[in-house]
Amino acid sequence: MISSPTPSSTPTSSRLPSPTFLPTLTATSTPILTPPQTPTSRPDPTQTSLPPSLPPLPTLTPDPTHLPTFQPSNLPALQPSNPPPFKPSTKAVVLIIIDGARWTETFGDPTRDLIPHLANDLAPLGAINTAFYNDGQTLTVPGHAAIVTGTWQDLPNNGQARPTAPTIFEYYRAATASSADDAVFAHGSFIEPVLTYSAHPAYGAQFGAAEFFSDYPTPPYDDGMAANARRALAELKPHLLMISLLDPDEAGHIRDWAGYRQAIKHDDEIIWQVWQQLQADPFYAGQTTLMVTNDHGRGCGEGWPEHGGDDECNRHVMFLAVGPDIPPGLVISQRRTLRDIAPTIGYLLDFETPFVEGEVMAELLTQESPR
Ligand SMILES: [Zn+2]
């Protein structure tokens, strides 16, 4: 682990920088909850522009006062309603959320032209679910909150309110007494810091994720998230990493159809690079489960630039999972929702998720190692 991130040179190219020349890696346990007053570069009012720079952030070394004070006896002894009957081999989970990519531009497109790596390289190694939905609010914060808490969260989309149910980061750190370095959230949105930990009284900041905020000033913003995530994987070796990519949603809100499509394809490449890094690292190779999903889709037809509705196009999202406990080439049509991700991650990493509403996706998992 690194005790103090060292700022490195700022990339001048919009391409994904080399891992040896990463942009500023900034981590904080004190998320910035105040959006900028004057949006400049980002048209989405819910994901407004990034500031030119962020204040220096504290080191990644856990504060001794933030060691767990978790009292398991205070919590209900709820178990997943359908635990699979075997002990998973997964030791780490990487969860990637592509903000606002519709099903019809991902696995719902018969050509799958925009997701060549997801469709042709990763799906054959694992599973996809063709009936995966956001049944809550189809907005960024509520969608992400459903993913990290396993509950529908009726939250404002302005990043001013935390989830009321514990997040996977808190469950994981409370169960393992691990430092924040072990549960990392890489993103670049001013409304997403509320996802690092919940307002739940039994959990909270002391169990929150280390936050790696990308301040890339120009698109593709997702290159910043990818660079921070890849550096975190290399240097911190977290067992739980969530990456939120937002370029498709940004392009959608400015009605840039070509840009929206290109952003999905670029994210496909980013995900493939993350997967390749995992496979090249003995800490992760063969014992890491990758999951990819969306927080929400977008409106149907002419409504594609926006989202928030309750139609099929807003609700239907992708779900892909690859890892040592998942048989290759599996295509699941059992209807599942964003709420089922958190309990499934809890099962894979062997921590309880007592407040979730979803279920472990047992149909994803196999007792026999397929590879
Ligand atoms: Zn949006």
pLDDT tens for each residue of 91-135 = 999 999 999 999 999 999 999 999 999 999 999 999 999 999 999
d(CA 294, ligand 1 centre) in Å: 11
Question: Could you tell me the distance, in angstroms and rounded to a whole number, from the CA of residue 303 to the centre of ligand 1?
Answer: 12
194 neighbors 46 (Cβ within 8 angstroms): no
Distance between Cα 315 and ligand 1 center (Å): 13
Residue 297 CA to ligand 1 center (angstroms) comes to 9
Give residue 176 CA to ligand 1 midpoint distance, Å: 34
Cα of 13 vs centre of ligand 1, distance in Å, is 26
What's the gap in Å between 42 CA and the centre of ligand 1? Answer: 11
pLDDT of residue 366: 72
Q: Is 188 exposed, middle or buried (0-12, 13-18, 19+ CB in 10 A)?
A: buried
* Predicted local confidence at residue 62, as pLDDT: 34
Q: Which two tokens stand for residue 24?
A: 């500023």
Cα 343 from Cα 80, distance rounded (Å):
7
What is the CA(221)–ligand 1 centre distance, in A? Answer: 14
Give every residue of the chain whose pLDDT is below 50, as ranges.
Answer: 1-24, 28-79, 368-371
Annotated domain spans of the chain: 86-364
Q: What's the CATH fold of domain 86-364? A: Alkaline Phosphatase, subunit A (3.40.720)
Distance 298 CA to ligand 1 centre (A): 8
H helical segments located in 280-332: 312-315
**Ligand 1 centroid – CA 209 distance (Å):** 23
**Confidence at residue 87, expressed as pLDDT on a 0 to 100 scale:** 85
pLDDT, residue 86, reads 74
Cα–Cα dist 136/310, whole Å = 8
Tell me how far the alpha carbon of residue 249 lies from the centroid of ligand 1, in angstroms: 5
Of 171, 165, 208, 192, nearest to 63 by C-alpha is 208
How far away, in angstroms, is 155 Cα from ligand 1 center? 15
250 alpha carbon – ligand 1 mean position (Å): 7
Residue 18 is predicted with a pLDDT of 32
Tokens for 268, please give them: 């496909």
CA of 306 to the centre of ligand 1 (A): 7
Sign of CA dihedral 221, 224, 227, 233: negative
